[in-house]
Amino acid sequence: MTGSKGSGKGLSLTLLGTSGGPPPLATRYGISSALVVNGRTYVVDCGRGAVTQYLRAGLSIPSLAGIFLTHLHADHIVDYYAFPLLAAGAAGAQGFQNAIDVYGPGPAGMDSTVTGAPGSLPGTVEMTRLAGQAYAASPTFFMTEHAGIDPAALLNVHDLLPPPAVGASATHTAPSMRPFTVMENDDVKVTAVLVPHGAAFPAYAYRFDTDHGSVVFSGDTAPTPNIVTLARGTDVLVHETVYPAGLASLGLPQTLIDHILTTHTDVAQLGRIAAQADARTLVATHLGPGQESVVSDPTWRRLLHHSARDADYSGRMLLGTDLMRVAVR
Q: Where are the domains of the chain?
A: 11-326
Range with the lowest mean pLDDT among 90-94, 226-230, 235-239? 90-94
Q: CB-hemisphere CA count at 13 Å for 20?
A: 29
Rounded to whole angstroms, the Cα distance separating 285 from 16 reads 10
Torsion-angle region of residue 323: left (phi > 0), alpha (psi -120 to 50) or beta? left
Residue 169 has pLDDT above 70, yes or no: yes
**The model's pTM:** 0.96
pLDDT of residue 5: 39
Tally the residues of the chain. 329
DSSP secondary structure code for residue 266 in this structure: B
DSSP secondary structure code for residue 168 in this structure: -
Rounded to whole angstroms, the Cα distance separating 179 from 228 reads 11
pLDDT of residue 92: 63
How many other C-beta atoms can be found within 10 angstroms of the C-beta atom of residue 265?
A: 24
Rounded percentage of the chain residues whose pLDDT exceeds 70: 96
Rounded to whole angstroms, the Cα distance separating 268 from 198 reads 20
pLDDT of residue 105: 99
Does residue 259 sit in helix, strand or coil? Answer: helix
CB 5 within 8 A of CB 186: yes
**CATH, domain range 11-326:** 3.60.15.10
For the stretch 25-70, pLDDT in tens is: 999 999 999 999 999 999 999 999 999 999 999 999 999 999 999 9
Does residue 249 sit in helix, strand or coil? Answer: coil
| Integer angstrom CA distances of residue 62 from 39, 42, 65, 224, 277 | 10, 12, 8, 36, 35
Burial letters for 162-181: b for 16+ Cβ neighbours within 10 Å, e otherwise?
A: beeebebeeeebbeebebbe
pLDDT, mean of residues 279-304? 98
Beta bridge partners of 281: 236, 316
Residue 87 or residue 39, greater confidence: 39
Residue 96 or residue 263, greater confidence: 263
Rounded percentage of the chain residues whose pLDDT exceeds 90: 92
11-17/40-44 β-pairing: unpaired
How does the average pLDDT of the chain come out, rounded?
Answer: 95
Closest Cα partner for 217 from 101, 103, 56? 103
| Integer angstrom CA distances of residue 75 from 17, 83, 101, 139, 165 | 11, 15, 21, 25, 30
pLDDT of residue 6: 41
Beta bridge partners of 159: 104
